[in-house]
Amino acid sequence: MFGRVLWKMLRSNRGRLAVAEIAIISGATVISALLNLQFDVEHKLTQEFRAFGANVIVSRANSGQALESGRQASELLGSPALMDQRPVLEQIERTRTPDVVAAAPFLYIVARAGGTPVVVAGTWLDQARALNPTWRIEGDWISARDDQAQCQIGRNVARQLTLGLGRQLDLDYLGQHAQLRVAGVIYAGGPEDNQVFVSLPVAQKLAQLGGADGQIEIVQISVRGTAAKIDRYVSQLAVGLAGYDVRPIRAVTQAEGSLLDRTRLLIASMVVLILVLTALCVLATMMALAMERRKNVGLMKALGGSISRIVGLFLAEVSVLGATGGLIGCAFGVVLARWMGERVFGASITPRWDVFPLTIALMVGVALAGALPLRLLGKVKPAVILRGE
């Protein structure tokens, strides 16, 4: 009987109920889209910030501070703050997490190429692309970490030395000599355009800093995640690297964390505002319905219906409206989220299925909040209604 009466109530007054349903669907659509953005925005933003390169530096003395303050890498050349690569790299590998995108050691020297001084950066060449995703290259990336036959050069070096792809580059430093083939020309838009990138063993051989452990100057690490997550990783790594300077590059991590916080606050504010507006729309509709249904309530009471049973019937009605509107709005919200993601981030937002039950629950709650005027029906007196007053 309860189900039949509920179905009759939903079919009657379809015009007013449609207004409330449209309001719930509209609210659910926007809220679903915003929640999908909220859950996926961290991943998208951290991807965007990884374009800025490494955000964690491991060094000795003040090398990390020098890089963090924006000084050129060439200013660190000749620094006595060198460190053995084996213990540092082994500790980084032990504490590696899925959030670590790339890590590479660096050794900088100023060598001569045909009498012209050039900055040489020895590193793991296979990590260069992951550390610097915005770099463009003419030619090929070097996939072998310890390739001692090839190098990559910045565009300014290529222009200054009139070098092209496949040409030979001769480097001299402290009486040591190396012959390398140019595999690619890097277009970085920064100081890297003035550098020559070689494998770490080549740079260590030129600087006579090889040996069992080998010497490096800094390690650059790219870690995705929020500023708090990056700080936790830095703290964990610093415990195993006592005596070394392990620090995030604040200019990147703080900007990332600030943007994430502001985005979350904006989305949360919009969700609350939409919930309030939807509740007000449902409230207006339910007030009109409450006035129209006074006679029905009076008749139900005269026939012996309890107040709790009658109010429960009306609450079930608005709950069905909220659940139906929330479900339909979730489907539309996925489409809206993908459109917003493409316009804002240039990539589609991945739908989160846990948004569906959350959005439906919110819409049912909004519908019940908007049904508060129905509580007034409990005060209806059957005798007054039956007398036609």
pLDDT at residue 375, as a whole number: 62
The 10s digit of each residue's pLDDT in 110-146 is: 999 988 999 999 999 999 888 888 889 999 999 888 8
Q: Does residue 237 fall inside a structural domain?
A: yes
Residue 254 lies in a domain: no
Residues ≥6 apart with Cβ < 8 Å to 178: 148, 170, 171, 198, 202, 205, 206
User: Residue 270: exposed, middle, or buried by beta-carbon count in 10 A (0-12, 13-18, 19+)?
Assistant: middle
Average pLDDT over residues 162-177: 92
Same domain (yes/no): 37, 89: no
Q: Which of 190, 223, 248 is the last residue of a domain?
A: 248
Distance CA 88, CA 210 (A): 15
289-323 pLDDT, tens digit each: 666 666 666 666 665 555 666 666 777 777 888 88
* C-alpha dihedral sign at 41, 43, 49, 51: negative
CB 107 within 8 Å of CB 217: yes
pTM for the whole structure: 0.59
> Do 263 and 49 form a contact (C-beta atoms < 8 A)?
no
Identify the DSSP state of 39.
Answer: H
| 73 pLDDT tier (thresholds 50, 70, 90) | very low
Same-domain pairing of 114 and 198: yes
Question: Are residues 87 and 222 part of one domain?
Answer: yes
Look at residue 170 and give its three-state secondary structure: strand
Is 195 found in the same domain as 289?
no
Tokens linked to 201: 């063993």
Instruction: Give 3-state DSSP helix, strand, coil % of the chain, rounded to 5.
Output: 60, 20, 25
Summarised one tens digit per residue, pLDDT across range 235-258 is 888 888 888 888 887 655 555 666
Whole-number Å distance between alpha carbons of 121 and 153: 10
Q: Does residue 349 sit in the same domain as residue 329?
A: yes
Does any domain span residue 149?
A: yes
**Helix spans in 84-125 (H):** 85-94
* 22 lies in the same domain as 95: no
On whether residue 253 sits in a domain, the answer given is no
Nearest to 222 by CA among 386, 52, 388: 52
Q: How many domains does the chain have?
A: 2
Domain boundary among 248, 283, 312: 248
Q: Do 9 and 76 fall into the same domain?
A: no
Cα separation, 109 vs 178, whole angstroms: 13
Q: Pick from 200, 223, 248: which residue ends a domain?
A: 248
Q: What's the CA gap between 298 and 279, in Å, rounded?
A: 27
What angle do the packed helices 250-292 and 307-344 form, to 10 degrees?
140
Among candidates 225, 258, 260, which has minimal Cα distance to 97? 225
Q: Which of 41-55, 90-104, 168-182, 367-381 has the highest mean pLDDT?
A: 168-182
CA separation for the pair 100, 140 (Å, rounded): 24
Q: Which helix (H) or strand (E) holds 100?
A: strand 100-113
Domain extent at residue 98: 55-248
Containing 101, the helix (H) or strand (E) segment is strand 100-113
